[in-house]
Structures are given as structure tokens and as C-alpha cells.
Amino acid sequence: MIPVTRPYLPDREKLQCYIDGIYARQYLTNNGPLVQELTRRLENYLGVENLLLVSNGTLALQIAYRALGISGQAHGERVEAITTPFSFAATASSLKWEGVEPVFGDIDPDTWCLDPASIEPALTTCTRAIVPVHVFGNACEVEAIEAIARRHRLKVIYDGAHAFGVTYRDRSLLVHGDATTLSFHATKLFHTVEGGAIIFKHKEDLERAALLINFGISGPDKIDTLGINAKMNEFQAAMGLCVLDEIEANLKEREAIWRLYAYALGNHYQMQRLNSHSRYNYAYFPVACRDEKELLREVDRLARAEIQVRRYFYPSLDQVQAFSDRKTHSISDDLARRVMCLPVYQGLDAGIVLQQLSSISEVA
């Protein structure tokens, strides 16, 4: 069976050395030395400042909303944020969980990211933020989005779950917005088994968020604010440090697979147009079929060949009752019915996947 992804597992002996250190120190959580080391190393590797490690990527979004003052829980009135319907459920569910109504724009038909032209028509007096997604690691039109935010005095929180290591105009993409969040889930390019991070523009927002992830506690006998437990622990950080040591080799192998797919399949499927000012991280290889019928046929044939692909993202979030603003966004809905991600991971024999896809295209 070829899975759509496989977690990257680093050198076991090196991981064991970190674990031995944890046992020797008996310091398991609460901003331990490995969490501090991983914070420093990630800031250096990514070229960012004000990075806060957290226990998962969904809490990263929720803490960012709280730290930036847009959570509806703190306002006692309706609060809205403009976001994309073509994303993982956590983008919308994290907003709803924080009392913020997701109001969906539509996506660009080529880049598959939030279309800046769809933002201003969706604004109301209740809008407090824009939450775009760097979909599959493809950089949004950050200048256009942030110009809109400045005109309307809105916060911008990027969901960068897929954007680890992506650069834009020779700088980290993650420095844009008031905050950008990352997911370090086991399936991601860089992972800590579970985990995530927030990169803040301003240090004072980082300091506020650091209180929030530790119950609002600022000292042994002092509670400054309402908080929650969203801390990363030492075992997560140990995995992250080991994965980071080997990230370049992992990236190189993923890029080779991605380019092999692109060369072989570029004329058969619609592919995402990547931002020309950005350096991609080759974390995903999504393709769009002509229609949903073709997609379902190909998914079924690949499954019978024991090759797993994923309808990612499906459904379009504006079609989900729990999130919906009761409007259909035609470009997102159409794409979600046609798109699938092919397997990409270290150690994959992409030739087996291509052989099956070639036989499908011959039948079609």
C-alpha cells in the first residue's frame, strides 16, 4: 500500500540522546530547555523573530486570535473574519470556536488561494480580521491583502500550516501579517509529532500569547489573565530538533518527486499556479481533474492499485453547515470537487504512482 503521506522519522539514536537528556533532567514541560532550543533554531532557520511554540496548529490559530484581540469571546458582540472556503476544517472551526463568524470570500481559479478581489465585498461593520491560507504552501497575494487590511484597519492572521520554509521575495513568507501560524503535525514537512507555532509581527503580541498558553500565569503566585494550556512539551521538541537536523535531505527528496510528477503530469491535469515571487517547499502535489466524475474514477482505480490519494480539500467549507455563511462560492466549490493530492514523502517510489496514472489516462 502506498499512502498519500508518511511521517518523516529521523535518526533514532539521535532522538534517543535527546530523550536520555529529558530523563536525566526530569524536566518534561513548561518551557523546558529543548523547547527553548527549538525556538531559537527555528527562528534562525526560518529567518523570523517572535516565534512561539504551541501544542498544535489549531491552538496556534486560536491563540493568535486571542492575542490580537479579535476573539468574539472577548467582545460580547458579533465578530467576523474574512477567510477562504478552500482549506482544512481547522481554519474555519478555530474561528467559530473563538466566537468569530467565518465569512467566506472565493479563491483565485489559478493559485487556489483567497482572491483579494473577493474580500472587500464581504466586509461588514463586524469584520475584525482577514484569515487567508497559503494553500499547499503557495504564497497568497500578501501585498494586496495587507493593503486592504490597512484601509479598513483589520488584523491579518495567515494560516501557514503548509508554508514551512517558504520564502517570498527572498524573505520568509512567515513574516507577513500580524501573525502567521504553522502546524507541526506528523504529516507535515517539518513536524514535532503534534505541535505548531505562531510568528508574531510585534513582540508585545508574542508576550501576550506566551501568557495565554500557560493559563495566564506570569509567576508562581500570579495569574494575570484568562488562559489555557497550549504549551509544547520536551518530547515534542526533541522530535522537532531531530527532524530539523535532517530537513534539507528531506526537502531535496520531496523536490525530486514533485518535479518528476510535474514533468509527467503537467499536460494531463490542471495544476496550481505557484507564486512567481516565492520559493516553494514541495510539501504537496495537488492536481485537479476535468470534473468530479473523472476524479472519482481515478481515485477508485488508484485505490484498487493500493495507491492512496486524498480529496484535499473537500468539501469546500462554505458547503459545511457548521461553518457556512449560506453563500456558495462557485470557484472553491468547483475546485474542491475536482482536486486530489498525490503521494509525496521521503522514500516514495513515484514511478509506481506514475505508472498507474498513465494507465488511467490511456483508458480515459
Provide the pLDDT for residue 75: 58
Provide the pLDDT for residue 337: 98
Provide the pLDDT for residue 324: 74
DSSP string, 176-208: SSSEEEEE--TTSSS--SS-EEEEESSHHHHHH
196-200 and 278-279 strand pairing: unpaired
Q: Which of 134, 135, 172 is nearest to 156 (CA)?
A: 134
Provide the pLDDT for residue 73: 63
Cell of 265: 503530469
- Give the residue numbers annotated as catalytic, written as ranges: 188
Provide the pLDDT for residue 309: 97
Q: Cα dihedral sign for 237, 4, 174, 107?
A: negative
User: Which one-letter DSSP state was computed for residue 55?
Assistant: S
Number of alpha carbons in the 13 Å side-chain half-sphere of residue 181: 30
Q: Please work out, in degrees rounded to the nearest 5, the angle formed at the alpha carbon of residue 88 by the alpha carbons of 334 and 258.
A: 80
335 CB contacts (<8 Å, ≥6 apart)? 86, 107, 109, 112, 288, 316
Provide the pLDDT for residue 135: 98
Query: What is the mean pLDDT for each group of 10 consecutive residues in the chain (364 residues)?
Result: 96 98 97 98 98 98 97 77 97 96 97 98 96 98 98 98 98 98 97 98 98 94 94 98 98 97 94 97 97 96 96 95 78 98 96 86 54
Please report the domains of the chain, with CATH numbers, ordered by start residue: 12-244 (3.40.640.10), 247-363 (3.90.1150.10)
